[in-house]
C-alpha cells in the first residue's frame, strides 16, 4: 500500500537533490551563481504547486471523467498551440494515466511524429489506461492505442 507513495516521494526527493549534486558544474558551465541554480531548480515545484489548486477545484467540481475527457491535451511549440480533443470513454480508474501519457508522448516523439501526432497518440494511450483498474494493468499495448485512434477523427 505504501510502495507507490514512497516511490513518488523518492522521485520528488531526487528532483530536489539532483541540482545540488551538479551545482558547481552548472555554475561553471553556464557562468551563473548558486542563487540562479537554486531558482531554476525550484521552477519545477513552483509550476507544480501553481496547478494543484486549479486542478483540484476542477476535479472536485466537474469530476475526473469530465476533466480528463474535455481537457484533452495541450502543447505549445514555439508560437504554435496544439490541442487534441479528449476521448469519451467509460473511466474506471485514472491511476497511472499521467505516466502512460508521458511514456506514450516520449515514444511518439522518438518515432519522429509531428506535435499533433504526438499529442493524439499520448492522449489516446492515457484514455485507454483510464478504462482499467490499476497503474500497471492500465498500461495499453500499441495495438490498443492504434485501435482507439482508428475509431476517432482528428
Active site residues: 99
Distance of alpha carbon 154 from the chain centroid: 21
Strands (E), 45-93: 73-77, 80-84
- CA 100 → CA 4, 45, 112, 140, distances in Å? 15, 21, 18, 8
Of 122, 82, 69, nearest in space to 100 by CA? 122
Write out the three cell numbers for 135: 497503474
Amino acid at each position: 500500500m505504501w510502495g507507490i507513495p514512497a516511490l513518488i516521494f523518492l522521485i520528488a526527493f531526487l528532483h530536489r537533490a539532483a541540482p545540488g549534486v551538479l551545482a558547481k558544474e552548472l555554475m561553471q558551465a553556464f557562468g551563473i551563481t548558486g542563487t540562479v541554480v537554486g531558482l531554476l531548480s525550484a521552477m519545477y515545484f513552483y509550476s507544480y504547486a501553481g496547478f494543484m489548486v486549479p486542478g483540484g477545484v476542477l476535479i472536485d467540481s466537474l469530476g475526473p471523467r469530465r476533466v480528463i475527457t474535455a481537457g484533452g491535451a495541450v502543447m505549445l511549440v514555439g508560437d504554435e498551440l496544439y490541442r487534441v480533443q479528449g476521448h469519451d470513454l467509460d473511466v474506471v480508474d485514472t491511476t497511472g494515466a499521467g505516466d502512460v501519457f508521458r511514456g506514450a508522448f516520449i515514444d511518439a516523439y522518438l518515432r519522429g511524429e509531428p506535435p499533433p501526432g504526438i499529442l493524439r497518440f499520448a492522449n489516446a494511450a492515457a484514455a485507454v489506461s483510464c478504462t482499467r483498474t490499476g497503474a500497471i494493468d492500465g498500461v495499453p499495448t500499441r495495438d490498443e492505442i492504434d485501435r482507439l485512434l482508428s475509431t476517432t477523427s482528428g
